[in-house]
């Protein structure tokens, strides 16, 4: 069983294997190989990997010899042609937007696990890459916002007078939102938060923030713990309720995403215009359509004096730790389904985890939603 970890595209700072996880794989008796210059930008040389027992190969050599290929970003369709049939591909596949790639994966009889589809259940927590990356993204969003803001976040008592704390408003209290709240509080800001799920109010309060209550009618969450999609009427009610809070905030961080669908526009240009000049908005959903009207992927724009940050790879701003947890997620996933006696992975499509995160196997779509949109 050979596992190959290729280098990522130039725009991706994260990697799929760390020295720590490499040692765990090798201790299990697995053959591990990396592409040359795999993680040098993170301070891990090829020699350090080789000293552990990891092989260093060219990209094509790695693809040709691999039983499993693990990466952060998708491979290209041309690279799929370099992989053997029945190889297992593990990465953030982005299957709802990469339908052509998913179709080719199935046609070539490549098995593929989409890390963003790992279900949020207790047994799968250790391999939940979406949550581990969202955690770091929430932290990164606050740090970037604080750098863009022309104010200090904490209250300060000085001989020249008192500096009032900055106000931070977090929209969406999932994993990323909770980390954003916690980080902003640690930095001394006054924090408020809103979510369509009333059940998260206690979590917000436990972090020392104020939960903003807006009556938008019946809401709830999916089996996976995500907020259910709102109706257009509910979104408009939410905007009206948030307008005053946004106007009085120095920083607004939006995290609302609907898995597999475009993100809802929650902050209109009118709401942005009502904010004080010098305020900062971080749109964490900019890569899936954006929560903020006017936000642009991978750009910071200035709209009437308000900065709107559209960073699509916030975990990539912290590549050391985001790689550390992602690599651990991958090891835990492979370890969970590794059959020690047979020395191979047991890809049981009826398993409660694999039945959801396994996109394709033996020329069949496994995930029900993927099957519906591809057939």
Would you name the residues annotated as active-site residues?
Answer: 120, 125, 128, 131, 226
Paired with 163 in beta bridges are 156
Q: Which residues contact 206 (CB under 8 A, 6 or more apart)?
A: none
- The whole-angstrom separation of Cα 13 and Cα 9 is 8
**Radius of gyration of the chain measured on its C-alpha atoms:** 22
> Strand pairing of 111-114 and 358-361?
antiparallel
Paired with 365 in beta bridges are 360
Contact 323, 15 (CB under 8 A): yes
Q: What is the dihedral of CA 313, 317, 320, 324, to 10 degrees?
A: -30
CA 326 to chain centre: 10
Distances in Å between the Cα of 57 and the Cα atoms of 30, 304, 330 are 16, 51, 20
Paired with 364 in beta bridges are 361
Q: Supply φ then ψ for residue 89, to 5 degrees.
A: -105, 130
Q: Which residues contact 51 (CB under 8 A, 6 or more apart)?
A: none
Enter the DSSP assignment of 346. -
- The whole-angstrom separation of Cα 50 and Cα 29 is 15
Contact 355, 106 (CB under 8 A): no
Paired with 194 in beta bridges are 171
Helix, strand, coil shares, percent, the chain, to 5: 40, 20, 40
Q: Which residues contact 270 (CB under 8 A, 6 or more apart)?
A: none
- Please choose, from the candidates 186, 184, 209, 293, the residue with its C-alpha nearest in 3D space to the C-alpha of residue 195: 209
């Amino acid at each position: 069983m050979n596992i190959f970890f290729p280098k990522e595209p130039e725009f991706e700072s994260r990697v799929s294997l760390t020295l720590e996880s490499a040692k765990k794989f090798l201790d299990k008796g697995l053959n591990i190989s990396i592409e040359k210059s795999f993680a040098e930008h993170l301070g891990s040389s090829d020699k350090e990997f080789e000293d552990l027992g990891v092989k260093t190969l060219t990209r094509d050599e790695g693809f040709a010899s691999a039983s499993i290929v693990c990466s952060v970003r998708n491979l290209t369709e041309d690279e799929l042609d370099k992989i053997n049939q029945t190889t297992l591909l593990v990465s953030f596949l982005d299957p709802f937007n990469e339908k052509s790639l998913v179709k080719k994966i199935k046609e070539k009889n490549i098995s593929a696990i989409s890390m963003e589809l790992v279900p949020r259940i207790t047994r799968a927590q250790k391999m939940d890459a979406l949550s581990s990356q969202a955690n770091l993204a929430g932290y990164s969003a606050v740090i970037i916002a604080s750098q863009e803001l022309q104010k200090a976040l904490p209250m300060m008592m000085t001989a020249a007078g008192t500096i009032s704390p900055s106000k931070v408003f977090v929209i969406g209290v999932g994993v990323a939102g909770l980390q954003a709240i916690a980080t902003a509080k640690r930095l001394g800001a006054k924090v408020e938060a809103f979510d369509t799920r009333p059940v998260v109010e206690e979590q917000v309060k436990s972090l020392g923030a104020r939960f903003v209550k807006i009556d938008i009618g019946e809401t709830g969450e999916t089996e996976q713990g995500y907020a259910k999609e709102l109706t257009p009427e509910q979104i408009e009610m939410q905007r009206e309720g948030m307008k005053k809070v946004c106007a009085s905030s120095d920083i607004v961080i939006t995290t609302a995403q609907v898995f597999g669908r475009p993100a809802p526009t929650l902050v209109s240009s009118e709401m942005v215009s009502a904010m004080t000049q010098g305020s900062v908005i971080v749109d964490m959903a900019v890569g899936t359509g954006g929560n903020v009207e006017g936000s642009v992927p991978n750009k910071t724009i200035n709209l009437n004096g308000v900065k709107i940050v559209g960073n699509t790879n916030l975990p990539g701003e912290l590549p050391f730790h985001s790689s550390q947890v992602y690599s651990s997620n991958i090891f835990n996933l492979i370890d969970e389904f590794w059959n020690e006696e047979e020395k191979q992975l047991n890809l049981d499509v009826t398993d409660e985890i694999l039945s959801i995160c396994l996109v394709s196997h033996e020329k069949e779509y496994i995930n029900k939603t993927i099957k519906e949109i591809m057939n």
